[in-house]
Amino acid sequence: MNRFCSLLAGALLVVAATLGAQTRRSFNLGLGAGLTVLTGEDRDFFKDGLNLQGSVAVPLRNAGIDLRFDLGYQSIGGKDRFTAPPPSDSLRLGDFNVISLTANAQYYASPTAPARVYLIAGLGLYRVEANAVHYGQSVKGSTTDFGAAGGVGVSFRLGGMRGFLEGRIHNIFGEGGSAQLYPITLGVMF
């Protein structure tokens, strides 16, 4: 896992350095990766996971806000546990993945500082794909739902680019209730 994260971070820096040397645009591109944390009862059945994120940010020059569009992927591993002791409930939860597309407003609380703190909030679509075993049979399911996201981050100078570290909450509105994911992402904007 650590080796994968190190290789990914190195690849992100090489790509960002190459693109950062190009001319200035009216938008910025970003790449990020990190850890996705679960809380509450979800931790009984699932492990913490990984997240990947691609971003396009469009600064609104006089508003102090960026419009940011994120394409995200989160992979969460199951702990291979039954939801209740068999035979009363023979459903064993497995892994699940979430693909998201969100539109966000990013507000900089300190727009001119070298390390700029920001708030981010938005709405999006979330595609959840899950694996389980129900009475000995492998079951796969998927759903697409609306959701909302919000969080806080810090953007900092990184050569000719900007690095960022952010923590967010993704709340996915499903038929049986809401699900929350808490990604912590480190990345670069160029």
Residue 7: HSE in the Cβ half-sphere, 13 Å Cα cutoff: 4
Q: What is the pLDDT, as a whole number, of residue 104?
A: 98
> How far is CA 141 from its chain centroid?
21
- The domain in which residue 77 lies consists of 2-189
Mean pLDDT over 25-29 rounds to 88
* Mean pLDDT, the chain, whole residue set: 84
Using a pLDDT cut of 70, give the percent of the chain over it: 79
**% residues pLDDT > 90 (the chain):** 54
Give one DSSP letter per residue of 119-136, joined into a string: EEEEEEEEEEEEEEEETT
pLDDT of residue 79: 73
CATH for 18? 2.40.160.20
Number of independent structural domains in the chain:
1
List, for residues 102-140, the tens digit of each pLDDT value.
Answer: 999 999 998 788 899 999 999 999 999 988 877 777 889
Residue 21 pLDDT: 46
Give the predicted TM-score (pTM) of the model: 0.80
| pLDDT value of residue 90 | 62
Residue 157: C-alpha distances to residues 60, 68, 114, 124, 154 (Å) = 20, 19, 6, 29, 10
- More confidently predicted of 182 and 137: 182
Q: What backbone phi and psi angles, to 5 degrees, belong to 19?
A: -75, -30
Rounded CA-CA distance 69/32 in Å is: 13
pLDDT tens digits, one per residue of 134-157 = 777 788 999 999 999 999 999 999
- Contacts of 5-13 with CB under 8 Å at 24 or more apart are 5/33, 8/33, 9/33, 9/186, 12/187, 12/188, 13/188
